[in-house]
Structure 1
Amino acid sequence: MMNDYLIVLNKDEDTLSVVDIESNEVIKTIPTSHNPHEVITTHDGRKTYIACSLGNKLDVMDNNTFEIVKTIEHPDFKFPHGVDLTKDGKKLYLASTFSSKIFIINTDSDEIENVFPTYQKHSHMISFSPDRKTVYVPNIGSHNITEIDVASEKVVNHFPVGQGPEGVAVHPNGRHLYVANQEENNVFVIDLETYETLYKRGVGDCPVRLVFSSDGKYALIANRHSHDVSVILCEQEINGTKRPWEIKRIPVGRWAGGIVFNPEGNLAYVANNKTNDVSIINMETLKEKGRFDVGIHPDGIDYVRV
């Protein structure tokens, strides 16, 4: 029998919360390295990687026991942050913000296999294309995106976006990159064949995270300073024209941050940094249906089914 959990990182108490989805209650609180920010679970659900930014470490958790079993370090881990996995799950990509380097880690051995620079400023997040052949890295200080070819593990392009890009994701159609620009309070929709910005849409104040529903119908954007989530209907049809459009802003807790969907896609969970809780969003009604408490300053969040 499979069990469902949320892993929620509590940045300002150096812990993570394991939340049982059935009860929406914390069943275990686990000490981590200093200042856990971003999190990703392996495709098989057996391990979770936790980027501890101010601690300059990457913790590895065994999801059978919910215990930290290894800590990975490197001299150029300088505010390690965004993490994600290749299609086969055998490699983890990590962006180190203040060294502006990309680390590739073997998930069998948990050893660093490759390191290379982006040559940009403040490379912050990792976002794979749906086919997992390309990685997009938002560079907050350079106001652009770095494109990495997964097969060669090399930087192949940089292209400009808005000011302070942070939340980044490729639409499930594989053709459009959405970029949330926190210094402009907007989202760019970019054609990945031409790199043309097709649309610019205003959202809330300081958008920091962006995720798509698995069917591609919606993009959810966490707006840190307006304490809400922008709902983008990716193909709103009006007067015979389809375009991405913000159709709603859902009030949540203070300082909305990490967002994750459940596998069925009917619920989304939003970590609220300053109210120390997680909002549950019903994706049918597009309303907050409840909240539950976690630790101090929750941000990174992931869904685990084991």
Structure 2
Amino acid sequence: MAEYLIVLNKDEDTISVIDVDTKKIIKTIETDYNPHEVVISLDQKKTYVACSLGNKINVIDNDSFEITKVIEHPDFNFPHGLGLTKDGKKLYLASTYSEKIFIIDTETDEITNMFPTYQKYSHMISFSPDGEKVFVPNIGSDNITVIDVKREEVITHFPVGKGPEGVAVHPNNRDLYVANQDDHTLYVIDLETYSVSHKRKIGAIPVRLVFSQDGKYALIPNRESGDLSIIDTQHKLKDMVRPWEIKRIRVGVWPGGVVLNPEGTLAYVANNKTNDISIIDMNELEVIGRIKAGIHPDGIAYLVK
């Protein structure tokens, strides 16, 4: 079994396929213009890459590491956030400037549905752990759109902080964590009431948010401050239990995409302006190495095959 990092180098229009064991690039794939976000199919056979300024989705065969299909649509306008349904049969895409959601059949790689959010700059896709809802941060509207997966339609919107971008539902399926880049905050949202249960200042310009598999930590890269906020989601202090930033780890310049290995022992952070990947030991919460990538690495995924 081999393990790879799939790293999008958005300012040279390439993907670096990096062997996790050797920490070396084994292949460079040329993509369409400005690859931003990436997701790997549940069977690990295909990789989907949103090429935002090229207004295309590149579909890559993970055996050959070759682009086998390009998905296009007249209403793609900065296609960005990607996410898979729980069964892996459908791919959701947020197109930022057209402010629309596209749904793609992952067997045929054809678009089967599309609809507007009616919000400004719909940017990312995050599924609830039960697979029933999708949460879309709208950077320009300072809110989150909620989509019903079964009905494939918008069911509500609710306000958060300024410029929300990083979004993920905690594995408990009760709390939504939102990183707001314009006011440098983390909001924790109660999903029963869509109200803010916790609010924390973190680093400057938080842009992504990823949970460890056990839900113990939320990892938030802060673009302008060049660090990674580690949030203990059940921090205990003086008989209180609450989300708390327990450490801020210095990484490279302009950190962006974050991914963990399947065991949850290592995290990898793509540093846009130092053209490398920081490796973080999740037991010690320390940087233990760097891996070279291409120019402006951002989106990142972990492939096992």
Q: In which range does the TM-score fall when normalised by the shorter chain?
A: over 0.9
1:160 maps onto 2:150 in alignment: no
Match of 1:254 in 2: 253
Gaps of 5+ in 1: none
TM superposition score normalised by structure 2: 1.00
Q: How does 1:58-207 map to 2 (within 5 A)?
A: 58-207=57-206
Distance 2:151 2:206 in 1: 32
For 2:40, the equivalent position in structure 1 comes to: 41
Please name the residue that 1:294 is paired with: 293
Distance apart, 1:95 and its partner CA: 0.1
3-state SS of the aligned residue for 2:208?
A: strand
Equivalent residue pairs, number: 305
Tell me the distance in 2 between the aligned counterparts of 1:24 and 1:132.
33
Alignment deviations for residues 241-296 of structure 1 (CA, whole Å, 9 cap, x no partner): 10000010000000000000000000000000000000000001101000010100
Residue aligned with 1:248, SS: strand
Letter in 2 for 1:167: G
Cα distance in 2 for residues equivalent to 1:199 and 1:110: 40
Query: CA RMSD of the aligned region, Å?
Result: 0.4
Structure 2 counterpart of 1:173, one-letter code: N
- Whole-Å Cα distance in 1 between the matches of residues 76 and 142 of structure 2? 22
**Rounded Cα–Cα distance in structure 2 between residues aligned with 1:132 and 1:282:** 29
SS in 2 for 1:207: coil
User: Could you tell me how far apart the structure 1 residues matched to 2:202 and 2:184 are?
Assistant: 6
Residue 210 of structure 1 pairs with residue 209 of structure 2: yes
Provide Cα deviations, 1:99-141, integer angstroms capped at 9, x if missing partner.
Answer: 0000000000000000000000000000000011100000000
Q: What's the offset of the Cα at 1:33?
A: 0.4
Is 1:11 aligned with 2:10?
A: yes
Aligned-partner residue type, residue 130 of structure 2: D
Give the drift of 1:227. 0.4
- What residue in structure 2 maps to residue 285 of structure 1? 284
Equivalent-residue separation in structure 1 for 2:247 and 2:238 (angstroms) = 20
**In structure 2, distance between residues paired with 1:244 and 1:87:** 26
Give 1:236 deviation, angstroms.
0.5
Can you list the C-alpha shifts for 1:67-88, whole angstroms capped at 9, x where unaligned? 0111000011000000010011
Secondary structure of 1:233 counterpart: strand
Give the SS at the match of 1:88.
coil
Q: TM-score scaled by structure 1?
A: 0.99
Distance 2:280 2:43 in 1: 26
Secondary structure of 1:208's aligned partner: coil
Q: Which residue of 1 aligns with 2:53?
A: 54
Match of 2:226 in 1: 227
Q: Tell me by how many angstroms 1:3 deviates.
A: 1.0
Provide the C-alpha distance between the structure 2 equivalents of 1:241 and 1:185, rounded to a whole number of angstroms: 24
Structure 2, unmatched stretches of 5+, are none
What does the per-residue CA deviation read over 1:157-201, in whole Å, with 9 as the maximum and x for residues that have no partner?
A: 100000000000000000000000000001000000011101101
What amino acid sits opposite 2:122 in the alignment? Answer: S
SS state of the match for residue 257, structure 2? strand
1-side partners of 2:157 and 2:237: how far apart?
A: 34
Cα deviation, residue 12, structure 1: 0.4
